[in-house]
């Protein structure tokens, strides 16, 4: 008899070493996977065998959760939002989305619409130079606000540093910038240049060099810097492309991926009204000659980005493997080359844009296993360029300017603020979308096939408000992208928000964590290319249970040199070799979806509600004891293999206060899964919490790493 226990903890612990007697609350999502050929009630767990391995906390009084359930009945009914009207095909699917608990819509309204998102209006816009596209790319600069000469900086290709040139007059600066635009010069740049000078007053100052996470000697403290976007350099185009402007025919479908991290399907619809209205208009108004597809039932792979992107680009996933921790590099790089190198063989250019700094520990730098604090800037740059070549990524372009933007905002990444990431009076994401459109227009003019990928982490923060500032930019961009007749646009996310008040307060927040969105914008030309059978399949599959693995096979089907066969490792998931371009099974359940635990199924009746009793309390105590041991074990273990410190030092032992939302799932392979939420606190605070429910919140999910225990009773336990 074996049991596999999965525990994901977004926990609250009082730390003696850091904050003495501070009240911190533990909120845990517990998944217990029981692999047995016996029914659950016949499993016997030997307490003494368990005591030999873990410390089981003393039982404290548990809160009466029935009072909370009675209150839920009094709350208003909550309905699921939809972009498009439900069709008859939705009635044929076995999976129906779990209905939100009563009151969760009111909770979301209070959290996400009680105040407006932050703006960048507090910053004045500095415009030293501009490009008049309507006048054939005419460059115009003004120096009347400068105390010093204008300098123009471009990123060097050999080491990634900024090369500055000073100009004695505005006309010479204009001439130099114009030379960067002209195709005949073949001057290599990365889609932007810096323009700097010392200004007459401080009204343009953006609080540079405050709370820096790294010192950047490429910029002078007294100078104000404008980021000027440039059309892509023709020197970077493939040899077969039409660099000289001569006519060529592009028969490929361009692929445009817009990825928003940590935004669920429902949060997209509640947070981006302008974008929602635009998509509805595009779909309903026949004059636009565009179809919009909304996939209702996208099951998340995991509440983390890497595993989703790995599945999307390479089809690789192993739900039984030990997940790497937040502080570790992934065990293998993101295998984007599986898809992108095939696209390059078909003549595509590939562009990757994101709002991360390539010199920091997140984003593509981490995903490709490039990041290493011990390397110099030059070494990091060289390592990145080699990784990009292997990954099939031609360029990151204006992504290279994100280090400057983040540094001026006093943060190394945007995961925990600020409320608005601004630079020179514009949101950070505006630079990315403006350049994306500039790049795509240039490729379309050259009849050059392209694959573009834009990732924004604007939704990756705990308030859930910041993503609303994306609405105007995204809707404006999509209005123009929809007019690209030969371009398939894929809007998608990886998962919903994994932390914040909505996840803590509402069970709907838990479900949304594993319910990302996928929308397709399909112009008429692309629809003709796909064919009527594929378009009919897409219509039906909008209401079938799918995952990012289906999207992987869909993208493969667009590339002619792929062998369209389902990998043997994927046969269990009932995917089609043409992905969503074939009708997927209406009988799919979450057992047919690749999921890495802990994970909640978005389908109703997949999990059965279980009574709260002393038997299930044993599992809660067991998991909590393992958590106590694991926190201490990590710290005593010391440095990890990657030179990162694991654990947070000595912590008080935490005790069980309550466990709720107990659910059981019976799988077809004689496996039973038991899930529950755990609330715990240090001993001296747990009794008080059981009475009045007070406590503050901090998340320590990064401290939890995989660990196996083999018990005398034959029990196998895995923490993730």
Quick one: pLDDT at residue 247?
45
Which residues of 363-448 form beta strands (DSSP E)? 422-423, 426-427
Quick one: pLDDT at residue 484?
97
Question: At residue 3, does pLDDT exceed 50?
Answer: no
Question: At residue 43, does pLDDT exceed 50?
Answer: no
Quick one: pLDDT at residue 238?
62
Using CA atoms, how far residue 108 sits from 53, 57, 115, 505, 515, in Å, is 42, 35, 12, 10, 16
User: At which residue do the structure tokens 């195709």 appear?
Assistant: 183
Quick one: pLDDT at residue 689?
56
Using CA atoms, how far residue 237 sits from 233, 242, 324, 432, in Å, is 8, 9, 37, 20
Q: Record the pTM.
A: 0.83
Choose among 349, 350, 369: nearest CA to 358: 369
Quick one: pLDDT at residue 103?
93
Quick one: pLDDT at residue 492?
99
Residue % of the chain over a pLDDT of 90: 56
Residue 71 — pLDDT band, cuts 50, 70, 90?
Answer: low
Query: What six digits make up the tokens of 132?
Result: 């008049």
Pick the CATH number of 125-282+301-316+336-515 from 3.30.70, 1.10.3470, 2.60.40, 3.40.720: 3.40.720
Residue 640 — pLDDT band, cuts 50, 70, 90?
Answer: low
Phi, psi dihedrals of residue 703, rounded to the nearest 5°: -90, -5
Q: Which residue has the higher pLDDT, 495 or 689?
A: 495
Which of 111-125, 223-237, 614-628, 658-672 has the lowest average pLDDT?
Answer: 658-672
Question: At residue 316, does pLDDT exceed 50?
Answer: yes
Quick one: pLDDT at residue 5?
38
Mean pLDDT of the chain: 81
* Region 306-331 average pLDDT: 92
DSSP annotation of 469: G
Per-residue pLDDT of 464-518, as tens digits, reads 999 999 999 999 999 999 999 999 999 999 999 998 999 988 889 999 999 999 9
* Region 30-54 average pLDDT: 35
Element at 27 (helix H, strand E): strand 26-35
Quick one: pLDDT at residue 519?
99
- Where are the chain's structural domains? 2-65+612-719, 125-282+301-316+336-515
């Amino acid at each position: 008899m074996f049991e596999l226990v999965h525990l994901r903890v977004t926990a609250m612990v009082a730390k003696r070493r850091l904050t003495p007697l501070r009240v911190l609350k533990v909120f845990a999502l517990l998944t217990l996977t029981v692999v047995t050929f016996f029914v659950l009630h016949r499993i016997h767990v030997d307490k003494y065998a368990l005591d030999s391995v873990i410390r089981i906390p003393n039982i404290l009084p548990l809160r009466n959760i029935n009072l909370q359930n009675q209150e839920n009945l009094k709350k208003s009914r909550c309905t699921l939002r939809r972009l498009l009207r439900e069709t008859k095909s939705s009635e044929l699917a076995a999976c129906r989305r779990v209905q939100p608990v009563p009151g969760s819509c009111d909770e979301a309204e209070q959290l996400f619409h009680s105040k407006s998102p932050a703006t960048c209006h507090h910053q004045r816009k500095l415009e030293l130079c501009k490009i008049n596209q309507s006048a054939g790319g005419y460059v115009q600069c003004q120096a009347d606000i400068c105390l010093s000469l204008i300098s123009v900086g471009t990123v060097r290709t050999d080491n990634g540093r900024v090369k500055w040139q000073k100009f004695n007059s505005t006309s010479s600066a204009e001439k130099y910038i114009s030379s960067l635009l002209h195709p005949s010069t073949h001057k290599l740049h990365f889609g932007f240049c810096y323009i700097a000078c010392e200004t007459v007053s401080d009204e343009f100052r953006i609080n540079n060099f405050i709370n820096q996470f790294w010192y950047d000697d490429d910029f002078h403290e007294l100078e104000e810097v404008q980021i000027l976007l440039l059309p892509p350099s023709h020197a970077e185009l493939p040899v077969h492309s039409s660099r000289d402007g001569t006519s060529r025919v592009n028969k490929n479908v361009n692929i445009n991926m817009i990825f928003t991290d940590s935004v669920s399907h429902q949060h997209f619809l509640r947070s981006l009204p302008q974008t929602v209205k635009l998509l509805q208009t595009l779909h309903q108004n026949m004059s636009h000659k565009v179809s919009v597809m909304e996939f209702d039932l996208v099951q998340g792979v995991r509440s983390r980005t890497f595993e989703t992107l790995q599945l999307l680009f390479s089809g690789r996933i192993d739900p039984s493997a030990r997940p790497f921790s937040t502080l570790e590099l992934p065990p293998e790089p993101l295998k984007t080359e599986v898809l992108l190198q095939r696209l390059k063989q078909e003549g595509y250019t590939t562009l990757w844009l994101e709002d991360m700094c390539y010199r920091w520990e997140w984003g593509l730098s981490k995903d490709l296993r490039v990041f290493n604090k011990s390397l110099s800037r030059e070494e990091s740059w060289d390592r990145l360029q080699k990784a990009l070549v292997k990954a099939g990524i031609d360029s990151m372009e204006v992504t290279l300017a994100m280090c400057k933007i983040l540094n001026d905002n006093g943060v190394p990444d945007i995961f925990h603020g600020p409320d608005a990431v601004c630079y020179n009076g514009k949101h950070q994401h505006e630079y990315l979308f403006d350049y994306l459109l500039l790049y795509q227009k240039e490729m379309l003019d050259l009849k050059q096939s392209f694959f573009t990928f834009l990732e924004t982490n604007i939704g990756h923060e705990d308030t859930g408000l910041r993503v609303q500032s994306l609405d105007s930019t995204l809707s404006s961009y999509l209005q123009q992208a929809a007019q690209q007749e030969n371009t398939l646009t894929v809007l998608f996310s990886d998962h919903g928000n994994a932390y914040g008040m909505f996840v803590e307060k509402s069970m709907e927040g838990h479900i949304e964590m594993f319910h990302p969105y996928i929308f397709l914008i399909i112009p008429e030309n692309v629809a003709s290319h796909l064919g009527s059978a594929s378009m009919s399949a897409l219509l039906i599959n909008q209401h079938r249970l799918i995952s990012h693995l289906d999207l992987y096979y869909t993208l493969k089907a667009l590339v002619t040199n792929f062998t369209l066969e389902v990998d043997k490792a994927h046969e269990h998931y009932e995917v089609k070799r043409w992905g969503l371009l074939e009708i997927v099974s209406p009988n799919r359940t979450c057992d047919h979806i690749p999921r890495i635990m802990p994970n909640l199924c978005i389908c109703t009746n997949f999990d059965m509600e279980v009574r709260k009793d002393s038997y299930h309390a044993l599992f809660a105590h067991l998991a909590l004891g393992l958590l106590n041991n694991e926190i201490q074990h990590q710290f005593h273990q010391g440095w990890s293999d990657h030179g990162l410190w694991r654990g947070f030092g000595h912590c008080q032992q935490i005790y069980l206060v309550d466990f709720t939302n107990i659910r059981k799932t019976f799988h077809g392979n004689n496996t039973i899964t038991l899930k529950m939420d755990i609330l715990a606190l240090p001993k001296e605070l747990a009794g008080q919490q059981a009475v009045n429910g007070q406590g503050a919140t901090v998340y320590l999910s990064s401290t939890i790493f995989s660990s196996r225990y083999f018990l005398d009773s034959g029990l196998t336990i895995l923490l993730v």
